Structure 1
Amino acid sequence: MTECDGYFKKSLFLVGEIGEVDYSFPLLMNGDIQLAKTIVSPVVKRITDATRTLIQEGAVEVVVAGLLPMGCCPASMTSLLTFANSDNDFEETRCLKAPNEIARYHNKQLQLSLQTLSKDFPLAKIIYADYFNAGMLLYKRPQDFEFCSETLTACCGGGGPFNVNVSSWCGSPGSTVYPRPATFISWDGIHLTDAANGIIAKKPEIFRAVGTWSTEFTWPDVALRGKAIHIVLLKLLWHAYLYFVWKERNVVLYCQESPSVDRVWGLIENAVRSSRRLGVPNMQRKVAKGYQRRCLAA
């Protein structure tokens, strides 16, 4: 193994978010959402190909980010407002529907593509980060995060309804900065403020495609490396999760009972709690061997 290979295996790669600029051009031409949708497939393919290349080069952990709410971006609001002819062109947050619809469509296609990619590389940890819904929370409930009510206004800009002026961007002569940037979602009409980025970094939903039983059983050996106590606990939790999901599956299939998420979670929680009494390493092996026996029996 070369030094570079070692770095790749120990590193977390972030891909994205990619595509917003690509979709902005057809929207700016005539506001036609269908035209913008025609380039979603090639954009998603390029993102997927880049992720594939990283894994082929040795990466084992890759986070692929979806798009943020494009229709809430002050620059988009300024440029595309002329194509909004009625209240139906706006969402309840007063964000533009068309750009947000493109972002949702892009994110859906990206998730489907990553699911296929995960099947090609079952031992890689390919994670989709849902920036869109995390971002929408800021516009739906700004008061919860101490943002001002003018959620679509840039903190720094050259004036106008959304403080975005293409002739006087943030930092140009004539532009101004509102006090207390931490109360704004957008910094310059395009980029988020540090405060907004900090919240989204803590809020995104993380999705990982599920593989076969054998793949899921061996996945921790690749993704969770080391002997630190938190690594051992994570492996314990993972094996407990697999074991009890498998057990619940058999109950549903062979005992004709309805599945119960609460029942499965209760069993997992009890298994993790009992690790204090039984010793974490021993409990991990016990749960893992139990699951393995059932895999072989199947």
Structure 2
Amino acid sequence: MGSVGVSWRVWKFLLGVWLVMIGMLIGSSDSLCEFEGIFNFGDSNTDTGGFNAAFPAQVSPFGMTFFKKPVGRSSDGRLILDFLAQGLGLPYLSPYLQSIGSDFRHGANFASSASTVLEPTASLDVGGISPFHLAIQLRQLQHFKAIVSEFYEQQGQGTNNDNKDASYSYLPSPDIFAKSIYTFYIGQNDFTSKVSAYGIPSLRESLPQIVSQIDATIREIYAEGGRTFLVFNLGPVGCYPGFLVELGHDPSDVDEFGCMVSYNDVVDDYNNLLRETLTETRENLVGATLIYVDVHSALLQLFRDPTTHGLKHSTRACCGHGGGDYNFEPKIMCGNMAASACDDPENYVSWDGIHFTEAANKIVARAILDGSISQPHFPFQQHCDLHPID
């Protein structure tokens, strides 16, 4: 009986260990992913509150759909970046410039509304362009990495950090930088500010410089240990309601879908140059994954045939003033007391004439996650157990 009792206890112990291991596997399966974080560079298309942290001004109805209040995002709800993080099982990215309530354990967002790739030649007050251009955002990343490294070095040396633990508890471990995705969605403000001030010919001349700066930034991050890069191209700005109102054009320049052909042609030139440059760079970055993300094709499809994706309105803004075909008035934009938002943003492609609704952002994000608009093909489900982005 003694040997039987011992065997039974051993069996129970092994069974218990097995059940614990199964439980751990089941509990962690939803969050298994090769990528531990996201570091984002961009403008208002991916700004999760950076510009508003630096220059607080956003008011309702921004954020009305999901957050139920303005949270520094240029939309009624979540952005493409938010859905990307959600799909990977990561929290929404905190803005690097936000001093209160930020959690950087899974990355940081350096994007700022009105940012450009190239250094701006005018101040924010004069030109409406953010001072946080791409080179500044890169320096912010490097400063952030230095702080993380310094903190962990102090911890390893036994330095007394009793007064730092509260503020530093939301920092990532130093190895996150090699295990994260670096996303780039920037360049739209270089395009629109240049074309508004100098016209299409001058814009075409600057395209190589813009692309070269993005390429140089990627190479610098790679040299510092970054290995996975997603670079978004530019959307069809010739279809955006705000630009249809503000950018001069002849009626003959408008295609059957209501978009300006000449401006979209320049966007195509830029996107082709960006794709070709990244293709060349990819061959030189050993061990890196460099993906060209064709958000342009996904957005163009929404503008041309919104009903295919369950939407109704393409080149008409949900939030704005003036009604008509575009519901956009440059002097009374969304957020102005005289402007108002539609009751059904889920039926619109455009939120405020320049940015997109949560509904449109979700459609594009799904295409990114399934790899259908990535070159080369990059289905995230082969790298992560994806979460639903409902």
Q: Quick check: TM above 0.5?
A: yes
Which one-letter code corresponds to 2:295 in the other structure?
Y
Three-state SS of the structure 1 residue aligned to 2:197 is helix
Structure 2 residues not aligned, in runs of 5+: 1-148, 153-172, 384-390
Asked whether 1:35 is paired with 2:198, we answer no
Alpha-carbon contact 1:128-1:208 (below 8 Å) kept: yes
Measure, in 2, the Cα distance between the counterparts of 1:202 and 1:58: 28
Measure, in 1, the Cα distance between the counterparts of 2:382 and 2:330: 50
Measure, in 2, the Cα distance between the counterparts of 1:76 and 1:230: 38
Deviation at 1:54? Answer: 1.4
Indicate how the Cα distance of structure 1 residues 177 and 119 shifts in structure 2: closer, same or farther if over 3 A, else same: same
- The partner residue of 1:64 within 210, 216, 231 is 231
- The partner residue of 2:334 within 134, 148, 170 is 170
Measure, in 1, the Cα distance between the counterparts of 2:261 and 2:323: 21
Aligned length in residues? 207
Correspondence for 1:86: 251
Which one-letter code corresponds to 1:45 in the other structure?
S
* Cα offsets for 1:131-156 (capped at 9, x unmatched): 111111101221111211x4111100
- The partner residue of 2:347 within 183, 187, 191 is 183
Measure, in 2, the Cα distance between the counterparts of 1:29 and 1:128: 29
- The partner residue of 1:10 within 179, 184, 187 is 179
- The partner residue of 1:21 within 175, 182, 189 is 189
Three-state SS of the structure 1 residue aligned to 2:230 is strand
Correspondence for 2:314: 151
Percent of pairs with identical residues: 27
Asked whether 1:118 is paired with 2:282, we answer yes
Measure, in 2, the Cα distance between the counterparts of 1:154 and 1:124: 39
- The partner residue of 2:375 within 186, 189, 207 is 207
Structure 1 residues not aligned, in runs of 5+: 210-223, 232-298
Three-state SS of the structure 2 residue aligned to 1:63 is strand
* Cα offsets for 1:168-208 (capped at 9, x unmatched): 11111110111110000011111100000000112251013
Alpha-carbon contact 1:15-1:51 (below 8 Å) kept: no
- The partner residue of 2:360 within 196, 208, 228 is 196
Higher relative contact order (CA 8 A, sep 6+): 2
Which one-letter code corresponds to 1:90 in the other structure?
V
Runs of 4+ in structure 1 displaced over 4 angstroms?
2-5
Asked whether 1:77 is paired with 2:240, we answer no
Correspondence for 2:59: none
Measure, in 1, the Cα distance between the counterparts of 2:251 and 2:261: 11
TM-score when normalising by structure 2: 0.50
Which one-letter code corresponds to 2:196 in the other structure?
L
Measure, in 2, the Cα distance between the counterparts of 1:160 and 1:113: 42
* Cα offsets for 1:73-97 (capped at 9, x unmatched): 11111101xx32232x112211111
Task: Give the 5 Å matches for 1:90-105.
Answer: 90-105=254-269
TM-score when normalising by structure 1: 0.65
